[in-house]
Amino acid sequence: MAFDPVPTPPAKRGVKWFFHVFSQEFPSLVGLNLVCFLSCLPLVTLGPALSALGQVLGRMADDQPVEPVQEYCTLFRENLLRKLGWGLLFLAAAGVLGVSLWFYASLELLSLTGLSLAGLLCLWGVALHLLPSLSDDAPPVHPLRTAVSAALSTFSRTVLSIVSALVFLIPQALFFPAFLPLTGLVGLVLPGLALAFPRLPPSPPFGD
């Protein structure tokens, strides 16, 4: 008698797993998004907030047991001083692009306005990806170089995840404030979850 082979469970990576995590953890993600959104409001805390968000979403994407809001608050406190400088650097770059966006828009220079907006959105995508990767385990002199090297080691997945994150971010920017309820609901966790996957280790073979 022939026995049916044991079906291999789906790999905990990719688009299907993204939507699985999002649907199964939706209430927790909404709470996590709200807490992160509020902790970003002082602006100077943007670095610690986005870093903690990325770390929590990475654990959720890796199917680790996690209490999202509780762990976010813990990581936010731990990252507060360590990631404050990186957040301020990001804010400075975003400020320059924001001023250029306003300036070119006031002059009705559509091409330069579009480039400024594209640069601002790409900066958000890159920051959401790199801030959680600035690990405290990395060499202290070159944390940014280590994070960039890690991103380049999974270049295709990194680019795909940043594009996916921009798909979630662009409507929120273009149709602000109409999309503000969406931003408060899942506007940060959606791109953050998409950007968490390239940082995960390869999925282990079935049976390991």
The predicted-structure confidence for 98-126, as pLDDT tens digits, reads as follows: 899 899 999 888 899 989 888 887 787 77
The predicted-structure confidence for 21-77, as pLDDT tens digits, reads as follows: 888 999 999 999 999 989 988 888 988 998 899 889 988 988 888 999 999 999 999
What integer pLDDT is reported at residue 103 of this predicted model? 92
b/e string for 5-35 if b means 16 or more Cβ within 10 A? eeeeeeebbeeebbeebbeebeebbeebbbb
Using pLDDT thresholds of 50, 70 and 90, give the confidence band for residue 144: low
Residue 94 has pLDDT above 60, yes or no: yes
Determine contact, residues 172/183, Cβ cutoff 8 Å: yes
Residue 89 has pLDDT above 70, yes or no: yes
Q: What angle do CA 186, 187, 188 make, to 5 degrees?
A: 95
What integer pLDDT is reported at residue 151 of this predicted model? 58
**Separation of CA 89 from chain center:** 17
The predicted-structure confidence for 148-196, as pLDDT tens digits, reads as follows: 666 566 666 777 777 887 788 888 877 878 888 888 889 888 888 888 8
What integer pLDDT is reported at residue 163 of this predicted model? 80
Q: Which is more confidently placed, 7 or 77?
A: 77
Burial of 205 (0-12, 13-18, 19+ CB in 10 A): exposed
What integer pLDDT is reported at residue 208 of this predicted model? 44
What integer pLDDT is reported at residue 156 of this predicted model? 66
